A and B are shown apart, each in its own frame.
Chain A
């Protein structure tokens, strides 16, 4: 693993080159120095030999020179040559002086002729080796200079050998040192590389938004400081990411939990954001795909025009729009421009106001209805009163009849007023009069009594079904009133020979049920949700004929609900209607 690391290779290679270079340079200079020192040592040796011998030389006779040279050479273990001033060789321990050429030109001889000590190293062709020559003038012993030069020579072989020895030991020592240094370099490079790679992989982790374990601090150097800084950065990044994702999650949660629908679009009318409520309202799947054109979500021209308007003019708009995509429900739509950093956008808020609108409509209908209901009998009363005052008082045939008409209208107004009072009391949420335990059977029987005569007149039969008695908690009078209203409707909105059934009993869910069913004219399905509204009538003409106030079912609903129960209705146009009152058991 480590060998593949480029920095490891670099470190190792440069250490290697450095060590080798140093060793080579060291070896070279050390060897050269040692060699020259060796040579100088030999020179000194030779010089002392030569001086000693040169002292003897003047006392030797010329014809004895050769013998002397040979003997001296034998003792000195070197080659001895005697040369006279002109350069002619007079004696040589190894060669015949007659055969030797003039040596005046030789550098060591020349130096000696000048009175100095001369040395030279030359390769001897005859002997095929390097020789060290040392020459000096033969003086000394107090005698006058004899003009002779003494030259001593030794082969450098030994010198060379000892130099070689020295060189080898230097080499061995430096190789050992180099090896040790290389091993140290290897370990150092490896540990350094390892630290660098740790930092590198940590940094890479940061880039990929992974937050690995923090870096071990390591030694206190620049690399250690770098590690510490990186660890800090990692910590800060992690905190920032956490904070951002928390914010994002919070925002997402808020937008998802909103009841209102939120839609954001960009300048090309493509969806940039859509919350769950909006998708649900328009019947789309959530989440909505990226960059979906708004047209694929909502086609309503009114909605699209609002968005376009806001986008183009940058103004706030508020409208009530019925969305076909939402099965015709009514929405209050607010559109506002969205100033994104790059381009314009728009945001639309949907608020379902179908129910609000319905309530508004019910209220205004109610007001209209009340005034209408009141006006008719009042107009009649006023009319007849004026007629009486204008002379009908004296008309004995009609005067009584007119007054009776006035009275019946007044009674009608009274019953409307009292019904309204009952309703308002029921709706006001005032605490109910203390509820008592009621026998359902008793109440049903009482109600049947009240309605009995009307039923006979219309030839409608009331049948009692299963009338098991049970007891519920409630207000007796209210319950009786509710039942009377229901029975009354069942009889009045019926045909000649029609039938009405009353049943009481326990439902499987342990609830008390009272059912009033008829086979009368029934209620259209459109009107079914609205029949409990005040003054709501399916067929206005017929209802007024039979003398209704239009409030009967409202009273039933509120009375039953006040007692903790529910009222349900099923009906088929032309077939009949069934009302069910459901009460929780005691």
Chain B
């Protein structure tokens, strides 16, 4: 029994470590864009492999724990939430890589416009990711709900950026490819924020969830 608890602790640590890597990747990807920092961009690409590897490790660990121990109630919720969070984290890592690719492309040319809204959006998204992971660590429902509420602001910003860039593209056709890169960056940031809300939802389920057994019974 103690062995199982130790394994659960290890699983949580793994997820947190992965979360840290993903947070760092997102931050670096945005900085590489705003500061035109090629080295940071390369760093994100380099670390991507580790994030993917960790996703596989976490999946394996959870599967093994489910098979060996057939946990119930709270432990079972933890394991299923872990699978989902694992997935969301890996996707966020991919999105950070996408941002970096756009950033590397943008590095080559002149700036389209002063970047004001994108850094703002990035700050919001990073905050949501950070808070969702904190909510997971502390099992804090308030914090998780706060993340869900923040999503609207991010969506709004994406629309604002989109319209502004459309305006630029209409006025200055040669800038279209660079503007499109920025539009994609904004979209990636918005999706990162969505994954953060997913994690927040998983945390809420973990804390307050329905007993999974009852669900299965009522279905059958």
B16 touches A295 (CB 8 A): yes
Considering the complex, give the chain B residue whose CB is closest to the CB of A299.
B20
Is A74 close to B, CB under 8 A? no
A293 touches B13 (CB 8 A): yes
Query: Shortest CB–CB separation between residue B16 and chain A, in angstroms?
Result: 4
Give 1 or 0 for each of B124-161: 1 = CB within 8 Å of chain A CB: 00100010011001000000000000000000000000
Partner of A295, one of B17, B23, B24, B47: B17
Q: A324-B130, A526-B120 are in contact. Are A301 and B24 (CB under 8 A)?
A: yes
Q: How far is the CA of A526 from the CA of B119 in the complex (A)?
A: 9
Q: Which residues of A contact B126 (CB under 8 A)?
A: 324
Query: Shortest CB–CB separation between residue A85 and chain B, in angstroms?
Result: 112
Q: Which residues of B contact A328 (CB under 8 A)?
A: 27
A299 touches B116 (CB 8 A): no
Q: Which residues of A contact B130 (CB under 8 A)?
A: 324-325
A324 touches B24 (CB 8 A): yes
Taking chain B's interface residues, is the majority helix, strand, or loop, or is none over half, making it mixed? helix
B21 touches A301 (CB 8 A): yes
Q: Which residues of A contact B134 (CB under 8 A)?
A: 283
Give 1 or 0 for each of B9-44: 1 = CB within 8 Å of chain A CB: 100110011011101100100000000000000000
| Size of interface on A: residues with Cβ below 8 Å to B | 19
A324 touches B16 (CB 8 A): no
Is A205 close to B, CB under 8 A? no
Is A222 close to B, CB under 8 A? no
Is A164 close to B, CB under 8 A? no
Q: Which residues of A contact B20 (CB under 8 A)?
A: 295, 298-301, 304, 324
Is B114 close to A, CB under 8 A? yes
Give 1 or 0 for each of A270-311: 1 = CB within 8 Å of chain B CB: 000000000000010000000001011011111010000000
B13 touches A299 (CB 8 A): no
Q: Which residues of A contact B12 (CB under 8 A)?
A: 296
B13 touches A300 (CB 8 A): no
Q: How far is the CA of A223 from the CA of B118 in the complex (A)?
A: 85
Considering the complex, give the chain B residue whose CB is closest to the CB of A283.
B134
A302 touches B13 (CB 8 A): no
Interface residues on B, range: 20 to 34
Query: Shortest CB–CB separation between residue B84 and chain A, in angstroms?
Result: 19
Q: Which residues of A contact B137 (CB under 8 A)?
A: 296
Partner of A324, one of B27, B114, B116, B120: B27
Q: Which residues of A contact B16 (CB under 8 A)?
A: 293, 295-296, 299
Query: Shortest CB–CB separation between residue A323 and chain B, in angstroms?
Result: 10
Considering the complex, give the chain B residue whose CB is closest to the CB of A293.
B13
Query: Shortest CB–CB separation between residue B15 and chain A, in angstroms?
Result: 9
B114 touches A539 (CB 8 A): yes
Q: How far is the CA of A328 from the CA of B34 in the complex (A)?
A: 15
Q: Which residues of A contact B19 (CB under 8 A)?
A: 299
Q: A304-B17, A324-B130 are in contact. Are A299 and B119 (CB under 8 A)?
A: no
B24 touches A293 (CB 8 A): no
Give 1 or 0 for each of A318-355: 1 = CB within 8 Å of chain B CB: 00001011001000000000000000000000000000
Query: Shortest CB–CB separation between residue A497 and chain B, in angstroms?
Result: 23
Instruction: Identify which of residues 42-69 in chain B touch chain A, using a CB-to-CB cut-off of 8 Å.
Output: 47
Q: Which residues of B contact A322 (CB under 8 A)?
A: 27
Q: How far is the CA of A507 from the CA of B9 in the complex (A)?
A: 58
Is A217 close to B, CB under 8 A? no
Q: How far is the CA of A301 from the CA of B12 in the complex (A)?
A: 16
B133 touches A299 (CB 8 A): yes
Q: How far is the CA of A370 from the CA of B54 in the complex (A)?
A: 49
Q: How far is the CA of A538 from the CA of B134 in the complex (A)?
A: 35
Considering the complex, give the chain A residue whose CB is closest to the CB of B14.
A295
Is A524 close to B, CB under 8 A? yes
Q: How far is the CA of A247 from the CA of B17 in the complex (A)?
A: 37
Q: Which residues of B contact A300 (CB under 8 A)?
A: 20, 23-24
Query: Shortest CB–CB separation between residue B13 and chain A, in angstroms?
Result: 5
Considering the complex, give the chain A residue whose CB is closest to the CB of B134.
A283
Q: Which residues of A contact B119 (CB under 8 A)?
A: 526
Q: How far is the CA of A180 from the CA of B20 in the complex (A)?
A: 88
A526 touches B13 (CB 8 A): no
Q: Which residues of B contact A293 (CB under 8 A)?
A: 9, 13, 16
Q: How far is the CA of A324 from the CA of B21 in the complex (A)?
A: 11
Q: Which residues of B contact A302 (CB under 8 A)?
A: 24
Q: Which residues of B contact A538 (CB under 8 A)?
A: 114
Considering the complex, give the chain B residue whose CB is closest to the CB of A304.
B20
Q: How far is the CA of A322 from the CA of B134 in the complex (A)?
A: 17
Q: How far is the CA of A86 from the CA of B119 in the complex (A)?
A: 154
A524 touches B116 (CB 8 A): yes
Q: How far is the CA of A295 from the CA of B114 in the complex (A)?
A: 37
Q: Which residues of B contact A325 (CB under 8 A)?
A: 130
Q: Which residues of A contact B17 (CB under 8 A)?
A: 295, 299, 301, 304
Q: Which residues of A contact B133 (CB under 8 A)?
A: 299
Q: How far is the CA of A302 from the CA of B47 in the complex (A)?
A: 12
Q: Which residues of A contact B27 (CB under 8 A)?
A: 322, 324, 328
Query: Shortest CB–CB separation between residue B137 and chain A, in angstroms?
Result: 5
Instruction: Identify the interface centre among A325, A538, A539, A573: most chain B CB within 10 Å of its CB.
Output: A325
Q: How far is the CA of A301 from the CA of B16 in the complex (A)?
A: 10
Query: Shortest CB–CB separation between residue A31 and chain B, in angstroms?
Result: 78
Query: Shortest CB–CB separation between residue A219 and chain B, in angstroms?
Result: 58
Instruction: Identify the interface centre among B20, B24, B119, B133: most chain A CB within 10 Å of its CB.
Output: B20
Query: Shortest CB–CB separation between residue B194 and chain A, in angstroms?
Result: 19
Query: Shortest CB–CB separation between residue B170 and chain A, in angstroms?
Result: 19
Q: How far is the CA of A492 from the CA of B47 in the complex (A)?
A: 48
Q: How far is the CA of A295 from the CA of B136 in the complex (A)?
A: 12
Q: How far is the CA of A296 from the CA of B9 in the complex (A)?
A: 11
Query: Shortest CB–CB separation between residue B61 and chain A, in angstroms?
Result: 15
Q: Which residues of B contact A524 (CB under 8 A)?
A: 114, 116
Q: How far is the CA of A328 from the CA of B28 in the complex (A)?
A: 12
Q: How far is the CA of A304 from the CA of B13 in the complex (A)?
A: 12
Query: Shortest CB–CB separation between residue A322 and chain B, in angstroms?
Result: 8
Query: Shortest CB–CB separation between residue B124 and chain A, in angstroms?
Result: 12
Q: How far is the CA of A524 from the CA of B114 in the complex (A)?
A: 10
A526 touches B24 (CB 8 A): no
A299 touches B23 (CB 8 A): yes
Query: Shortest CB–CB separation between residue A540 and chain B, in angstroms?
Result: 10
Query: Shortest CB–CB separation between residue A305 and chain B, in angstroms?
Result: 10
3 smallest A-B Cβ distances: which pairs?
A299-B20, A295-B16, A296-B137
Given contacts A301-B21, A324-B130, A573-B116, 16 further A-B contacts (CB under 8 A): A283-B134, A293-B9, A293-B13, A293-B16, A295-B16, A296-B12, A298-B20, A299-B23, A300-B23, A322-B27, A324-B23, A324-B24, A524-B116, A526-B116, A526-B119, A526-B120
Interface positions of A (Cβ within 8 A of B)? 283, 293, 295-296, 298-302, 304, 322, 324-325, 328, 524, 526, 538-539, 573
Q: List 20 A-B contacts (CB under 8 A).
A: A283-B134, A293-B9, A295-B16, A295-B17, A295-B20, A296-B12, A296-B137, A299-B19, A299-B20, A299-B23, A300-B24, A301-B17, A301-B20, A324-B20, A324-B24, A325-B130, A328-B27, A524-B114, A524-B116, A538-B114
